[in-house]
Amino acid sequence: MLTRSDILSKAVDNCMKELYSYVQPHVEWEDFVGQNKMYSNKYLLWEKTKDLDPNYIGKSLVECIGPRPYEFYYLPKDILKHIIDNYVYAYKIDEHQDLLDTIEVLKNYCKKPIVDKWIKGENGFPGHRGYDHPDNLEKEIKKYFSENYDMNFEELVSEEIQNLFFKFLDMAGEFYNWNSELNSFYQSVYLGCSPNSSKDIVIENWKKYRGEDIEINEEEIKKEYYGEEELD
């Protein structure tokens, strides 16, 4: 059975694949995955020998094994964000935001109710709508229950029941905690191996670390992603 975690992992994987389908220079996803595996092996070797190998001592990680693979592939920032936002929407990663806001409003209202209050005009000023935190609200509620129910208020809504009610609201908030999902997704993509959005850095990395002069055509990337009609 698929869990929510499985679904979000699939979302990250699919999002990454789509991001790299538009990068320049072009790279096949399988090739990029292979580059990351090779880099990981180099990193493990560096971690073990950085204090022993004279070629590593006193040098930074990048000086020793070069930048991470994603630093060699460019994708405009607007396209990067657009693709990621599409996956947030498609996988309903932030769908519970309104629900959590409602839960907080309900909790706060129950703890400190607020009601409309008409402020009578005086000294030439018109009346207007205001609000109040009525001290006698509990009295009014008890009166309502005594008039409409056989059971009195204390029997129907005991302190234990009230505490349980707030506990359930907290549990609902934890279950639908969209923030943790959204933050986890963003961290996996943005702080993972998403393409670089600095054209100059990508061109420089290819020249310095792979000995190749490359060109990046940003308009070509945008035409491929948005389509020529969208750009006109």
What is the tally of structural domains in the chain? 2
Is the same domain home to 224 and 171? no
Q: What is the pLDDT of residue 208?
A: 96
Is the same domain home to 8 and 92? yes
Q: Are 131 and 115 in contact (CB under 8 A)?
A: yes
More confident: 3 or 130? 3
Rounded to whole angstroms, the Cα distance separating 194 from 16 reads 7
Q: Are 206 and 72 in contact (CB under 8 A)?
A: yes
The amino acid that residue 150 corresponds to is D
Is the same domain home to 80 and 12? yes
Show the tokens assigned to 192. Answer: 């993972």
Is the same domain home to 106 and 187? no
Is the same domain home to 215 and 137? no
Question: Which DSSP symbol is given to 193?
Answer: I
Is the same domain home to 114 and 101? yes
**pLDDT tens-digit series, residues 15-43:** 999 999 999 999 999 999 999 999 999 99
Is the same domain home to 21 and 89? yes
Show the tokens assigned to 101. Answer: 């806001």
Q: What is the pLDDT of residue 95?
A: 61
Is the same domain home to 30 and 132? no
**pLDDT tens-digit series, residues 95-132:** 665 666 677 777 776 666 777 777 777 777 777 777 77
Domain endpoint, select from 128, 159, 175: 175
Using the predicted structure, report yes or no on whether residue 6 has a pLDDT greater than 60: yes
Is the same domain home to 159 and 201? no
Question: Which DSSP symbol is given to 131?
Answer: E
Domain endpoint, select from 152, 175, 198: 175
**pLDDT tens-digit series, residues 160-215:** 777 777 787 777 766 666 567 787 888 899 888 999 999 999 999 999 999 999 99
CB atoms within 10 A of CB 159: 8
CA angle centred on 50, ends 62 and 68, rounded to 5°:
25
Domain endpoint, select from 157, 175, 193: 175
Q: What is the pLDDT of residue 17?
A: 97
CB atoms within 10 A of CB 230: 9
Using the predicted structure, report yes or no on whether residue 90 has a pLDDT greater than 60: yes
Strand segments, DSSP code E, in 68-142 are: 115-119, 128-132
Q: What is the pLDDT of residue 18?
A: 97
CA distances from 8 to 22, 88, 97, 180 (A): 22, 10, 17, 12
Q: Which of 165, 176, 152, 149 lies closest to 109, judged by CA?
A: 165
Using the predicted structure, report yes or no on whether residue 134 has a pLDDT greater than 90: no
Torsion angles phi and psi, residue 24, rounded to 5 = -130, 140
Is the same domain home to 117 and 160? yes
More confident: 142 or 137? 142
More confident: 131 or 222? 222
Is the same domain home to 85 and 155? no
Domain ranges, residue 9: 4-96+180-231
Q: What is the pLDDT of residue 98?
A: 63
Is the same domain home to 123 and 157? yes
| Residue 153 confidence class, pLDDT cut points 50, 70, 90 | low
Q: What is the pLDDT of residue 43?
A: 94
Q: What is the pLDDT of residue 47?
A: 92
Show the tokens assigned to 193. Answer: 């191996």
Question: Which DSSP symbol is given to 127?
Answer: P
The amino acid that residue 113 corresponds to is P
Q: Which of 84, 91, 67 lies closest to 16, judged by CA?
A: 84
